[in-house]
Chain A
Amino acid sequence: GAVVSQHPSRVICKSGTSVKIECRSLDFQATTMFWYRQFPKQSLMLMATSNEGSKATYEQGVEKDKFLINHASLTLSTLTVTSAHPEDSSFYICSARRFRQETQYFGPGTRLLVL
């Protein structure tokens, strides 16, 4: 199998606070993890690519200082939304892939609501 977990599944926070989302590959080592954002009834929008032990690569238009990504081990990546604002409210999904494989396995997603 290829199971990816995310925590928390949903979070509500006040504007100006920071929120950390964890993504874990439970039964395989993930050399690369990806973070996506998804708006209702739309496809996935890639935010950044995270490789274990190196800095994340951000897509154009994504603020790296606002969305901090850390990939400290082959099974864990974290996304921290810093100084969250209501416009950051969204569904955030992570995925992971094995070394040299193209298939990505997705986590269950995290619903973030910033008040």
Chain B
Amino acid sequence: TQLLEQSPQFLSIQEGENLTVYCNSSSVFSSLQWYRQEPGEGPVLLVTVVTGGEVKKLKRLTFQFGDARKDSSLHITAAQPGDTGLYLCAGGRRTSYGKLTFGQGTILTVHP
């Protein structure tokens, strides 16, 4: 099984704080996706990274793909209550027939 370890599983913080979510694997991925999901809805794509060392920014969110393409991180600056949700990382491999390997998810709660 090609695992993608996501941590932490739960994160409860105050508005304005910074946070980082990690996804790690012993295997190489050709792409890494980050999704955000709210209760009762489907996951929404935040970003796809494909190049080792790549950094992408989406407003207060910064995504990084490790140099070896085995790990990734999501950093949120000055978190807001609207950031609350389930964050999922998902790795893709060209040999996996399109399947994604999902992390366990991080439930983020940002308190006003």
Contacts and interface: CB of A to CB of B under 8 A. Distances in A.
Interface of A: 2, 4, 6, 32, 34, 41-44, 46, 49, 57, 91, 93, 95, 97, 102-109, 111
Interface string B81-112: 00000101010111001111011110100000
Contacts of A104: 33, 90, 98, 100
A56 B107 CA distance: 32
B44 interface: yes
A57 B104 CA distance: 23
Contacts of B31: 102-103
B62 interface: no
Interface residues of B, number: 26
Contacts of A6: 42
Contacts of B48: 102-103
Contacts, number: 61
A108 B33 CA distance: 18
B20 interface: no
B43 A97 contact: no
A43 B42 contact: no
Nearest to A43: B105
Given A32-B98, A104-B100, A44 B33 contact: no
Nearest to A102: B92
Contacts of A95: 42
